[in-house]
Amino acid sequence: MGEGYGNRRYQVVVRAGRRLRASVAGLGAAAAALVAAALAVASLLQAGTAAGAEATTTRPEVITGALVTPDGRHVVVPYLAGGCVVGATLTAAQTGSRVTLTLRQVLSGASICPADLIVGGSVTVTLRHPLWGRSLVDGSTGRAITYFDGRKLLRVTYLPRGYRFSAYQPYPDPAVTDWERGFVSADQATAPLEVEQVPGNAVARPSWPVTARIRVGSRRAALSVLTSGGHVFGRAITWRAGGYTFVVYTVTYRTGQRLLSAAELTRIADGLRA
């Protein structure tokens, strides 16, 4: 699938801002407020990044969880950005029995840090050899890091034509158990696709109104739809299997962007394999 890895820094909130801005005409004043907040965060993060390395400092951050990708060589770690945090760095000290990760927030050096504008990001480090058989340790606390073994992620065997892997997307609150894989179409004419996998029976995002009961393979599933003003902005299929909750969903973020149909989402969900 050509899965790539990298420091996503502030692109999570930039993407959220773009999605909200594209849909604001149909969502009203409440959405307009959300757009303004999201774009304000993006602006702050971009401004902090543009300030230059000379103005920045770093500080350690405790690692709350991680994802080790299926090949064992890439470790993805979430961090909290916003305010004066404009990015993060992740380094790995490696021995034959242990990998010690050190996560550091990158600070803009600004004198005023808006604490109410906090978002999630992720950063990735590449190991010389697969992690398997070695322990993963937080360098700032000395404690073992609880990580999601990427070999347990179901493989996506079907994607609509033109789609490619984009990024791993963790949710760091309250603990990193919820992982998504994002896929985007080459020309962005069709809305992005997210495949979410959550251990246990935890409530998974998004939680939109259920409009129909369908089946994914032999499992019962729920089709939910995000609507406003008579327009459909998102679709999601949710089901449980093998000790996980799965969600396959899509949301438009640009005017005129085509939304994946329920039939297309069902085919993607049916194509997930161990």
- What pTM does this model have? 0.76
pLDDT at 189 exceeding the cut of 70: yes
pLDDT digits (tens, 9 = 90+) for 196-226: 998 887 777 788 999 999 999 999 999 999 9
More confident: 93 or 175: 93
Task: Please tell me whether residues 212 and 119 are part of one structural domain.
Answer: no
pLDDT at 268 exceeding the cut of 90: yes
Task: Please tell me whether residues 78 and 193 are part of one structural domain.
Answer: no
Q: What's the rounded mean pLDDT across residues 140-157?
A: 94
Q: What's the rounded mean pLDDT across residues 16-38?
A: 36
Question: Domain count of the chain?
Answer: 2
Task: Please tell me whether residues 33 and 49 are part of one structural domain.
Answer: yes
More confident: 265 or 41: 265
**In whole angstroms, what is the distance from residue 181 CA to residue 178 CA?**
10
Task: Please tell me whether residues 48 and 148 are part of one structural domain.
Answer: yes
3-state class (DSSP) for residue 41: helix
Name the band, by pLDDT with cuts 50, 70 and 90, for residue 175.
low
Task: Please tell me whether residues 122 and 185 are part of one structural domain.
Answer: no
pLDDT at 101 exceeding the cut of 90: yes
Structure tokens at 208: 């939109």
Task: Please tell me whether residues 6 and 70 are part of one structural domain.
Answer: yes
Name the band, by pLDDT with cuts 50, 70 and 90, for residue 172.
low
**In whole angstroms, what is the distance from residue 123 CA to residue 10 CA?**
11
Using the 3D structure, point to which of 100, 127, 152 is the last residue of a domain. 152
pLDDT at 178: 77
Using the 3D structure, point to which of 109, 137, 152 is the last residue of a domain. 152
pLDDT at 51: 43
First to last CA, the chain: 15
Task: Please tell me whether residues 9 and 130 are part of one structural domain.
Answer: yes
Task: Please tell me whether residues 134 and 158 are part of one structural domain.
Answer: no
More confident: 52 or 65: 65
Give the structural domain span for 226: 153-273
Task: Please tell me whether residues 78 and 139 are part of one structural domain.
Answer: yes
Name the band, by pLDDT with cuts 50, 70 and 90, for residue 39.
very low
Name the band, by pLDDT with cuts 50, 70 and 90, for residue 176.
low
In the chain, alpha helices (H): 11-50, 262-270
pLDDT at 71 exceeding the cut of 50: yes
Name residue 215's amino acid: R
Task: Please tell me whether residues 205 and 184 are part of one structural domain.
Answer: yes
Q: Is residue 106 a contact partner of residue 88, using CB atoms and an 8 Å limit? A: yes
Name the band, by pLDDT with cuts 50, 70 and 90, for residue 10.
very low
Q: What's the rounded mean pLDDT across residues 146-166?
A: 95
Task: Please tell me whether residues 178 and 265 are part of one structural domain.
Answer: yes
pLDDT at 40 exceeding the cut of 80: no
pLDDT at 246: 95
Q: What's the rounded mean pLDDT across residues 44-54?
A: 44
3-state class (DSSP) for residue 100: strand
pLDDT at 231 exceeding the cut of 60: yes
Task: Please tell me whether residues 25 and 134 are part of one structural domain.
Answer: yes
Q: What's the rounded mean pLDDT across residues 84-104?
A: 96
